[in-house]
Amino acid sequence: MLPLAERLRANAMFQQVFREGRSFAEGPVVLNLRLLEGDERRCGFSVSKKVGKAVTRNLVKRRLRAAYRALLPGLPRGFEAVVVARSSAASADYAMLATALRRAFQRAGIEA
């Protein structure tokens, strides 16, 4: 699990990333990224009902969180990100989601 300080929790935090950040789509995921001046690094995950029922949404969210945790050692600090799952994420396995997330971070200019 991500440390509490590295999680986006409030709706206002998510909305700020959507408003002020840029988005990078890669296969079954969309990365919304807002660069920061400080030494903070926060991430949130959004999986809508378009992806599937609760069991499927939770599975996709767990896989995305695990993929993000695997990328953490290679990610610099100074950003807030919201990872949004597209409906095709329901049929994607962990490897596909992890690759898509890594590529999205690379397209954003943040090496992973």
Q: Residue 97 falls within a domain, yes or no? A: yes
Q: Predicted confidence band at 96 (pLDDT cuts at 50, 70, 90)?
A: very high
Mean per-residue pLDDT over the chain, rounded = 96
Task: State the Cα angle at 67 between 64 and 73, rounded to 5°.
Answer: 135
Q: Residue 10 falls within a domain, yes or no? A: no
What residue numbers bound the domain in which 94 lies? 28-106
Q: What is the pLDDT of residues 31-84, one digit of tens each?
A: 999 999 999 999 999 999 999 999 999 999 999 999 999 999 999 999 999 999
CA nearest to 42, candidates 70, 15, 81, 69: 81
Q: Are 43 and 2 in contact (CB under 8 A)?
A: yes
Q: Residue 73 falls within a domain, yes or no? A: yes
Q: Residue 23 falls within a domain, yes or no? A: no
Q: Residue 50 falls within a domain, yes or no? A: yes
Tokens of 25: 């789509």
69: domain CATH number is 3.30.230.10
Phi, psi angles (nearest 5°) of residue 109: 90, 10
Q: Residue 81 falls within a domain, yes or no? A: yes
Q: Residue 88 falls within a domain, yes or no? A: yes
Q: Residue 7 falls within a domain, yes or no? A: no
Structural domain count of the chain:
1
